[in-house]
Amino acid sequence: MKPVLDRALIWFRRDLRADDQAALYRALTSAKQVFCAFILDRDILDTLPRADRRVEFILGALQALDEDLRRLGGALIVRHGFATDEIPKLAAELGAQAVFANHDDEPQALLRDALVAERLKTFSAELRTFKDHVVFERREVMTAAGGPYGVFTPYKNAWLRKVDEFYLSSYPVERRTHAFAKTTLAKGVPSLKDIGFEPAGLTEHVGQGSRGAEALLDDFLDRIDQYDEKRNFPAVKGPSYLSVHLRFGTVSIRRLARIAHQLMQGGDHGAEVWLSELIWRDFYHQVMHHHPHAMGAAFRPEYDGIAWETGEHADTLFQAWCFGSTGYPLVDAAMRQLNQTGYQHNRLRMITASFLTKDLGIDWRRGEAYFAQQLLDYDLAANNGGWQWASSSGCDAQPYFRIFNPTSQSEKFDAEGRFIRRHCPELAGIDAKAIHAPWERAPLAMQGVDYPRPVVDHAVARERTLARYAVVKTRKV
């Protein structure tokens, strides 16, 4: 394909890699010279605490990306400012006729991109965007009637019917690297201090950008066949731990889905279950596209009629949940894992979300917002989808009368208490049978142990929840 543009700018966002990157490939095939940029966007950064693991992860990913681009003949221009100002200004400075970027369907991102597109028009440039973050997006998987899916299993079946080699194939960036342009504007990646941040204690296992993703993927492929058996047990190495890399695009979703799909076709049940999790990710992103109102309200409007607990006592309960001091060991261990590492095991996300909404009676939006602050892999579509699933207010959510018992969940998924002891060391001396409900089953052993009694009685809370949710049975929407 003969280039039709003289100069183009690739704007990296949530796609921080130099291989199999849709917008990067499109730019390299469309322009004679391609410049690369990332904006440390103050519209986002100025809202964050000065120590934030995500900022630390991004800078590491940018360092790896810059090294990869330089190896291929390019370089990364990094600027700290407002993206709506910096991208048009940089495009004008470089004489770029088009800015290439990948889709970001979050509501605020769509507003940002619309403003950038308008500002580019003032000097006859344009914004071109492409699918990259998911396998299928927007209107690519629809019902027979032409509407969006609201239930996962039919969506998954349609996804599997449609997927083929074309949709899972890579973009061969390496074939077009001659179009990369060198520039004196690429001065390396700033430090945390340069942009007003401090170290946040990023855990080493996530690695640096695409290199970290590669190491985690290699490790996971050695045990993917056991994923279906081990994924629910937080004390064992079951998950892929690639969620943060999917969030920031330091690994290609097409590559992961292609691997899983091929293994599934060969009879690997673990890979089949993992592919299903990747499809859930696509599902939640299409929900966000078709139902943007659900990003701040219940997907099912009748659930907005629920009277959540408010006031000082509710605030006290919320704080106990946030800091892992509810008196339910698995819930507390899970929240401490989140606070200490920025990661929480997927099974535990369901348990802690259910506990907040259905044991404490607190609005799911408060929990969603707290996870948004703490999660290294925070993704609006997935986080919102997960919280609305747990609170029964979302599409294809668990029924409102399904209420996780935190003690039985603990006994089932951390039977020996290994995960609990890891994050609640004050309970290290409690035996496996008693550790799931220590105040009830080992009162003598708990004497002198600095661990709280349960903040609620689960049986009583369950009845309150059933009464609270009764509104959804009577309200007409």
Task: Indicate which residues carry an active-site annotation.
Answer: 277, 280, 308, 346, 364, 387
Q: How far, CA to CA in Å, does 194 sit from each of 79, 156, 157, 198?
A: 11, 45, 48, 10
Angle, to 10 degrees, between the axis of helix 269-290 and the axis of helix 253-265?
140
Q: Are 234 and 347 in contact (CB under 8 A)?
A: yes
SS3 per-residue string spanning 39-60 = EEEHHHHCCCCCECHHHHHHHH
DSSP annotation of 302: G
* Closest to 41 in 3D by CA, of 27, 23, 54: 54
* Closest to 355 in 3D by CA, of 379, 329, 373, 380: 329
Q: Categorise residue 416: left if φ over 0, alpha if ψ from -120 to 50, beta otherwise.
A: alpha
* Closest to 241 in 3D by CA, of 264, 261, 260, 215: 215
SS3 per-residue string spanning 88-154 = HHHHHHHCCCEEEEECCCCHHHHHHHHHHHHHHHCCCCEEEEECCCCCCCCCCCCCCCCCCCCCHHH
* Closest to 153 in 3D by CA, of 266, 392, 345, 161: 161
Q: Are 209 and 62 in contact (CB under 8 A)?
A: yes
Q: Is residue 354 helix, strand or coil? A: helix
Cα of 149 vs its chain's centroid, Å? 21
Q: Are 228 and 269 in contact (CB under 8 A)?
A: yes
